[in-house]
């Protein structure tokens, strides 16, 4: 018997409208440029009213922020779902692969959106801002999985930071190559570089480490 809360028809409808608005806005912004596109153009493309747009988003920048929030949620959820005995490098690679795979599956459309974010200073700043929260979430999840204290252990925060650096590097290379480079291969190569550090899990407490010196 499922314990998951049922999603009502109204909730499904709201999510569908939100998804359609997000898709229309992102593609229009990517095609014409963030500073050029107006909310009027977005709602016309999406086939909704301006009032409907503002029911879901406060601004066109908010559309991108929500897209980034969803990416971070996907990474965290995948890490939390990975087998508890899995090596950190493997679990983290699978986690960051979730949004990269989504981009690869919709290559042409996703590439334009990624390039929009990386090449628009205001949006790139929001991307990095969102990642601060991603890093905190991954740090807490890694600490939970490994039985470490995120307040005193260095490993969880460093490992989360390395995984997100790999993620950023893959997106940047994929974007710069106009999708000529394979994101799956880039991800494998990136994690091959950082895997030794990710799998060198810190198990000693700070007090034991100091005592052993």
CATH architecture of structural domain 59-205: Orthogonal Bundle (1.10)
CATH 1.10.357.10 domain residues, the chain? 59-205
Among positive and negative, which fits the CA dihedral 50, 36, 105, 70?
Answer: negative
Model confidence pLDDT, tens digit, residues 139-167: 999 999 999 988 888 999 999 999 999 99
pTM, rounded to two decimals = 0.83
Pick the CATH number of 9-57 from 3.30.565.10, 3.30.450.70, 3.30.1360.120, 1.10.10.60: 1.10.10.60
- The kind and range of the H/E element at 36 are none
CATH 1.10.10.60 domain residues, the chain? 9-57
CB 67 within 8 A of CB 22: yes
Sequence-ordered list of residues with C-beta below 8 angstroms from that of 48, at least 6 positions apart, any chain:
17, 20, 21
pLDDT interval class at 211 (50, 70, 90): very low
Which tokens hold the place of 39? Answer: 């909310």
Q: Is the pLDDT of residue 86 over 90?
A: yes
Q: Is the pLDDT of residue 101 over 90?
A: yes
Q: Which residue has the tokens 């390395």?
A: 162
């Amino acid at each position: 018997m499922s314990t998951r809360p049922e999603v009502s028809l109204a909730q499904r409808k709201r999510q569908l409208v939100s998804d359609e608005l997000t898709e229309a806005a992102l593609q229009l912004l990517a095609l014409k440029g963030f500073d050029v596109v107006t909310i009027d153009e977005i709602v016309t493309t999406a086939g909704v009213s301006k009032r409907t747009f503002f029911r879901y988003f406060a601004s066109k920048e908010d559309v991108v922020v929500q897209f980034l929030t969803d990416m971070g949620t996907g990474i965290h959820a995948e890490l939390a779902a990975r087998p508890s005995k899995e090596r950190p490098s493997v679990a983290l690679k699978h986690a960051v692969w979730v949004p990269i795979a989504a981009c690869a599956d919709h290559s042409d459309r996703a590439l334009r959106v990624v390039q929009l974010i990386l090449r628009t200073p205001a949006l790139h700043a929001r991307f990095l801002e969102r990642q601060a929260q991603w890093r905190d979430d991954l740090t807490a999840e890694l600490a939970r999985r490994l039985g470490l204290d995120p307040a005193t252990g260095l490993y969880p925060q460093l490992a989360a930071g390395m995984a997100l650096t790999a993620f950023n590097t893959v997106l940047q290379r994929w974007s710069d190559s106009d999708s000529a480079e394979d994101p799956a291969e880039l991800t494998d190569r990136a994690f091959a570089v950082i895997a030794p550090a990710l799998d060198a899990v810190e198990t000693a407490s700070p007090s034991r480490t100091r005592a052993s010196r």
